[in-house]
Amino acid sequence: MTAILSASALMDELAAARPPVLLDVRWQLGGPDQRPAYEAGHLPGAVYVDLDRELAGPPGSGGRHPLPDPEDFGAVMRRAGVRADEPVVVYDGGQGWAAARAWWLLRWTGHPNVRVLDGGLAAWTAAGGPVTADAPTPVEGDFKPNPGPSGLLEADDAAALARTGLLLDARAGERYRGEVEPIDPVGGHIPGAVSAPTTDNVGPDGLFLPAETLRARFTALGATPDTEVGVYCGSGVSGAHEVLALEVAGIPAALYAGSWSHWSSDPRRPVATGPNP
C-alpha cells in the first residue's frame, strides 16, 4: 500500500463497494479558520477535522502544536466515522502539510490503512472531481488509538540523532540558517541537523515528486539503508509532510513532534546558525 494516492485513483475507490472514510483537514497557519471553506464545498462524504483543536493539544510547554491526548484524538476520529478495519483518506487544500499531520497521527496510533490525497482538493477539482456543501452524518467509528513505541522523537532523541544518524530540518532555509524567525523565540537550528525544506519535495503542480526522485534527494542528504532518520520543523506539521515524502521514497523516519517551537522554548538547549549543520 502506498502512502499517497491520486485524484483519479480516489475517484475509483469512492465508486467501489467499500469506499474509504474521507477526512477534510484544510488548515492555514495563523488562520483563518477553514471550516467555512469546508462548508462551502468539500469532497462528497468528507468530514471536517480541525488541526489546531483536534489534531493538536493546547499550545504551551510542548510547543505550538503538541500531540493531542490519545483519548481525545480517538474520540474525534470515531465521531468522524473512522474504523479500525476500513481505509481512510485525508486531504487538505493542496499544500499537504495538514493532511500529512492527520496521516502521521493515524499511522502512529495504529491505523493500518491511511493515505493522503496527493495534491489535495486542488488536484481533486483539477481532475474534475465533484464537491458538495452537503454535510455528511457519519456512522460512529470504532478506532481506538494505540500509540506505537517508535516513530516519535523527544528533544533528547532529536539531539542524539543529529549526532549519530540524520536529522532533517523541514523548515525554509532562511529559518534554518537563523536569518529570520517569524514565529518562535529564537532563530537557527538543532546542532547537527541538515536543512531539507519540505517544499522541495513537491513540484510546481503541488504533487509529490516521483519516488525515485525523492529517494535520490534524501540519499544525497545522507539517508542510507543503515541510517536512522528523523525530522523536525516549526511545530510538527510540515515535518509530518517530510516524513510522508520519506515514506513515498521508501525511507522510514521518525518525527520530533514538538519541533523547533519546543526546542527553542528552553534557553538551555543549544542553537546553531548558518548554512552548515
Beta bridge partners of 232: 169
Determine which one of 233, 243, 249, 253 is catalytic: 233
Is residue 51 a contact partner of residue 26, using CB atoms and an 8 Å limit? no
**Assigned C-alpha cell, 40:** 462551502
Map residue 244 onto helix, strand or coil: helix
Can 233 be counted among the known catalytic residues?
Answer: yes
Distance CA 40, CA 143 (A): 28
CB-count burial class (<10 Å; 0-12, 13-18, 19+) for 174: middle
Pairing of strands 229-232, 166-169: parallel
Nearest by Cα to 6 from 129, 113, 106, 105: 129
SS (H, E, C) 155-185: HHHHHHHHHHCEEEECCCHHHHHCCCCCCCC
SS (H, E, C) 94-149: CCCHHHHHHHHHHHHCCCCCEEEECCHHHHHHHCCCCCECCCCCCCCCCCCCCCCC
Between vectors from CA 208 to CA 123 and to CA 126, what angle results, nearest 5°? 10
Question: Which residue numbers are catalytic?
Answer: 233
